[in-house]
Amino acid sequence: MASCATKEDEQEESLKEAIDTARIYLTKNKCDEAIKTLGAVEGASKNAEYLKALASSFACRSGYRTPTFYGTDLAKIGSTQSTFFSGLATFTTSEMISPIDASFLDLQEAINILLYAGEVVVPSAAERIKVFSSIEASDINIYALYMILVQLGKYLYYYGNANPVTGEKGAGATANGNTNRLTNGCLYDYSPVDSDLATTIDAARSAEILGSCTATATGHVKLAALPNVTTVSRMCQGVVLFNQMLDLLSNITIPTSSGSLDSIGTLFTDVCSSISQTSEVCSVLSQSECEVNFSVSAAEADKLQAYFFIFFESNF
């Protein structure tokens, strides 16, 4: 008897089989096999289950595990501006050894799969809900949020030269488990062309209200002085991660089991909307947009410096 199955039926069955196979690989921590299995599938860019499985595969290779995030690291997130970043830096997954750390790159790939799910042009919660059902969008967004928090922990650990035990900025040392042998007390060595911004930053550093970022402290060796294309790219990574976190916290229902996350979004969103120097940077949700917008001139680069100073440096 001839089969009545259509080509669409066969594609759907192949997709389901690939997802099921990948999930089995993931239970055995066979991340590369899961990536290869799902990579062979075409035309699934708007299938939520496929996208979550693909993101999980790259996250698996990065060392991310949701049970570890929930069971161990979530409780480390502080509920105030002054404790939030240091908490992220103490995650068990926060170790990062270079700007091209394989774990960081794999987790970023997983995050991007979720942020651009459904082939959205603008990677925002508002755009994803236009493509997926409310339940599908919620699952994608919450999963992305968890990964972004882990990625921010890596970013702050590395560029902030953090003590992995206490999360203290500028206190990383071999003795406490940070083997990067860095000496920076600031994330970046600020030198804005805007005189008012320069005065504000210099005063804060001299008054020693920025933790280890004092008047004599240096910035991270891998964030060379602006204007610099590589530095813009690396600073934009932090900007986009943080902005994406705020977008998600503002547009999804946070599970009651997520500790202090519900209050964090309001704390930082209010700052974004109240400071003119950072308002433009706060709206950027994609890496490419950030790099284009803030590498054109010294004045534009000043906005990146203001953002780093106001959000990361002043609260970490």
Phi and psi (nearest 5°) for 93? -100, 5
What does the pLDDT profile of the chain (316 residues) look like in tens digits?
445 567 777 788 999 999 999 999 999 999 999 999 999 998 899 999 999 999 999 999 999 999 999 999 999 998 888 899 999 999 999 999 999 999 999 999 999 999 999 999 999 999 999 999 999 999 999 999 999 999 999 999 999 999 999 999 999 999 999 999 999 999 999 999 999 999 999 999 999 999 999 999 999 999 999 999 999 999 999 999 999 999 999 998 887 777 678 778 788 887 877 777 888 999 999 999 999 999 888 999 999 999 999 999 999 9
Residue environment code for 83-112, b if the CB has 16+ CB neighbours within 10 A, otherwise e: bbbbbbbbbebbbbeebeeebbebbbbbbb
Angle at 249 between CA 165 and CA 131, to 5 degrees: 130
- CA dist 35 and 58 (Å) reads 7
Determine contact, residues 243/283, Cβ cutoff 8 Å.
Answer: yes
Determine contact, residues 232/295, Cβ cutoff 8 Å.
Answer: yes
CA separation (Å) from 260 to 68, 145, 162, 265, 266?
17, 14, 22, 10, 11
Instruction: Please identify which residue in the block is written with the tokens 């709206």.
Output: 283
- CA dist 311 and 275 (Å) reads 11
- The full length of the chain comes to 316
- Whole-model pTM? 0.95
Angle at 145 between CA 139 and CA 148, to 5 degrees: 140
- CA dist 290 and 210 (Å) reads 26
